């Protein structure tokens, strides 16, 4: 007997920084769990002319080993290279005919198939997405083509100073933990990955109970749910138990210099931070905003405006289900590299030793919440946010709860998390062998 879908309609709350005074009411989000376990989320927004869909699987480099590094991303790219009904080119042409795109990529904690289209083509977009997810053929000749491209992308990444320095500091921070390598993988592993490894990853990841489908845009939500149920019911439910490697992240906590011909030196100072689900995650994000979020943050004012050391400087953070990062960075003239390291470490020390003022806390919260609100305004971003936070188990409405957690952060919280997490810097400096090219 067919179960009638239980549809839960929940209205989103706009973030605290942007009270919903003048805007149209926030669109409702529909959540449905299909009989096979696939969670479907739909956000209907009549104010736009487009639709975006994001199909996420709980996969990614977190589930890889050094030998299989990059297999998730490789698989994702291959899924667009042919299905039972379309060649790679025919898939691309079909998506472009809808006024959109189909894309695929592997990330750290997930893998994504995503598509966009003019709103009236939402149903055809879902048909294409389902076909790619359920009926990929992983053609052998296309595997070698994709391998060459991925190796080329790894080379391009190594060619650019900031990505290269970033990959180095992340590797040093995470040690043997799978977060240590980029989602693209490692050259050594990508060279050796074969079709069997891709198929194995596909079988483990493409199970309905490890996936979330989110659709956002100008779409009729009840019809979208019905169409999704019909299209994705063939996804198998039972999941082979995907085991995450039980490796601890072990930061090297030292300083490494990479010599590379460049006009600018890159200085990155990394620390491990709590996972996105941890109670300390919100205070750490506020702390990052105090020191390196926006043009009135401490690093921007001190290192750029007052000392003229940089054009770009700030703190990068990540939202991982495992250990995240807190990463102050600065790009500076090679002759200033040592001064920049000292200046960044001094800013970190100030966080631990000096009391943070209430007005700095207030600005940092506003900046952070503004960022969150600004980032969630296109259909594609809405679809991603809904799918990601549902997938990792925090629930699709996590951003609203995160906003409340940020709002509750105190100066004492900041001091506490600074003391707890900012203790062992891992430093990477990329600089030319000679002072300048």
Partner 1 sequence: MVRVVPIGLVLLVLALSWGCSGVRASSRPAAATPSPTRHVLANGIPVIIQEHRGSDVVALQLWVRAGARDETSAELGLAHYLEHMLFRGTTSHPGGFMERDVEGVGGRMNAGTSWDYTYYYVTLPARRVVPGLEMLADVAVNATLDAEVLEKEKDVVLEEMRLSDDNPRRRLARQLYTQLFDGHPYGRQIIGTPELVRALTRDTLTSFYLRHYVPETFAVVVVGAVDPREVLATAASTFGRLPRRGVTRLPAAPPPPFRPQHQDIAHPGGHAHLGLAWPATRLDHADTPALDLLASILGRSRSSRLVQSLRERDGLVVSVSASLTALEGAGGLMVVAQLPPGNLERAEAQILAEIRRVRDAGVTDAELRRAITAAEAEHEFETETAEGRAVALGRAETVWTLEDELAYVNRIRSVTATQVRAVARRYLDPERYARLALVPPKAAQ
Contacts with partner 1 in 205-264 (CB under 8 A)? 218, 260-264
Q: For residue 13, state whether it binds partner 1 (rule: CB under 8 A).
A: no
Query: Do 368 and 289 form a contact (C-beta atoms < 8 A)?
Result: yes
Residues 153 to 212: which contact partner 1 by CB under 8 A? 153, 155-156, 158-161
Instruction: Using CB under 8 A, count the residues that bind partner 1.
Output: 79
Q: Which is nearer to partner 1, 46 or 245 (CB)?
A: 46
Q: For residue 86, state whether it binds partner 1 (rule: CB under 8 A).
A: no
Q: For residue 306, state whether it binds partner 1 (rule: CB under 8 A).
A: yes
| Minimum distance from residue 166 beta carbon to partner 1 (Å) | 13
Residue from 366, 394, 407, 411 binding partner 1 (CB under 8 A): 366
Q: Which is nearer to partner 1, 279 or 301 (CB)?
A: 301
How many residues are there in the chain?
437
Residue from 38, 56, 98, 386 binding partner 1 (CB under 8 A): 98
Mind giving me the DSSP string for 123-153? HHHHHHHHHHHH-B---HHHHHHHHHHHHHH
Give me the sign of the Cα torsion angle 400, 405, 411, 414.
negative
| Minimum distance from residue 45 beta carbon to partner 1 (Å) | 7
Residues 323 to 352: which contact partner 1 by CB under 8 A? 331-333
Of residues 270, 395, 319, the one with CA closest to residue 107: 319
**Which contiguous run of DSSP H or E holds residue 106?**
strand 101-106
**For residue 198, what are the CA distances in angstroms to 17, 151, 215, 238, 295?**
44, 16, 27, 19, 44
Q: For residue 50, state whether it binds partner 1 (rule: CB under 8 A).
A: yes
What is the pattern of x (binds partner 1, CB under 8 A) and - over residues 368-407? -xxx-xx--xxx----------------------------
| Minimum distance from residue 367 beta carbon to partner 1 (Å) | 5
| Minimum distance from residue 160 beta carbon to partner 1 (Å) | 7
Q: Which residues pair with 115 in a beta bridge?
A: 53, 102
What is the pattern of x (binds partner 1, CB under 8 A) and - over residues 137-156? --------x--xx--xx-xx
| Minimum distance from residue 64 beta carbon to partner 1 (Å) | 23
Q: For residue 127, state whether it binds partner 1 (rule: CB under 8 A).
A: no
HSE of 357, CA atoms in CB hemisphere, 13 A = 5
Q: For residue 1, state whether it binds partner 1 (rule: CB under 8 A).
A: no
Q: Quote the DSSP letter at residue 356.
A: P
Distance in angstroms (rounded) separating the CA atoms of residues 37 and 390: 13
Q: For residue 316, state whether it binds partner 1 (rule: CB under 8 A).
A: no
Strand segments, DSSP code E, in 265-355 are: 265-273, 313-317, 324-332
Query: Do 53 and 386 form a contact (C-beta atoms < 8 A)?
Result: no
């Amino acid at each position: 007997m067919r179960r009638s879908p239980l549809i839960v309609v929940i209205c989103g709350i706009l973030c605290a920084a942007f009270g919903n005074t003048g805007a149209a009411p926030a669109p409702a989000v529909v959540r449905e769990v299909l009989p096979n376990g696939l969670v479907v989320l739909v956000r209907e927004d009549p104010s736009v002319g487009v639709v975006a869909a994001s199909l996420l699987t709980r996969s990614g480099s977190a589930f890889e080993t050094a030998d299989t590094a990059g297999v998730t991303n490789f698989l994702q790219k291959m899924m667009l290279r042919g299905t039972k009904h379309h060649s790679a080119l025919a898939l691309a042409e079909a998506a472009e005919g809808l006024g959109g795109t189909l894309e695929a990529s592997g990330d750290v904690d997930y893998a994504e198939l995503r598509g966009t289209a003019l709103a009236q083509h939402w149903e055809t977009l879902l048909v294409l997405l389902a076909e790619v997810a359920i009926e990929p053929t992983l053609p052998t000749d296309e595997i070698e083509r994709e391998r060459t491209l991925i190796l080329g992308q790894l080379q391009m990444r190594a060619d650019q100073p900031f990505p290269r320095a970033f990959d180095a500091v992340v590797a040093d921070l995470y040690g043997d933990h799978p977060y240590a390598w980029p989602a693209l993988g490692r050259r050594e592993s990508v060279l050796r990955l074969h079709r069997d490894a891709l198929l194995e990853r596909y079988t483990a990841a493409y199970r309905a109970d490890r996936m979330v489908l989110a659709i956002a845009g100008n779409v009729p939500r009840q019809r979208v749910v019905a169409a999704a149920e019909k299209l994705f019911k063939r996804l198998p439910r039972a999941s082979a138990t995907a085991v995450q490697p039980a490796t601890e992240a072990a930061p090297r906590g030292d300083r490494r210099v990479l010599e590379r011909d460049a006009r600018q030196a890159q200085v990155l100072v990394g620390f491990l931070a709590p996972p996105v689900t941890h109670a300390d995650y919100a205070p750490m994000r506020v702390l990052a905003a105090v020191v390196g979020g926006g043009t009135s943050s401490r690093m921007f004012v001190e290192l750029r405006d007052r000392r003229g050391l940089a054009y770009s400087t700030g703190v990068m953070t990540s939202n991982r289900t495992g250990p995240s990062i807190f990463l102050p960075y600065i790009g500076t003239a090679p002759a200033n590299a040592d001064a920049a390291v000292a200046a960044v470490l001094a800013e970190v020390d100030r966080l631990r030793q000096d009391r943070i003022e209430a007005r700095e806390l207030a600005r940092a919260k506003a900046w952070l919440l503004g960022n969150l609100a600004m980032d969630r305004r296109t259909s594609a971003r809405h679809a991603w946010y809904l799918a990601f936070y549902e997938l990792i188990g925090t629930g699709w409405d996590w951003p609203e709860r995160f906003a409340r957690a940020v709002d509750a952060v105190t100066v004492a919280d900041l001091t506490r998390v600074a003391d707890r997490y900012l203790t062992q810097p891992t430093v990477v400096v990329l600089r030319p062998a000679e002072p300048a090219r």
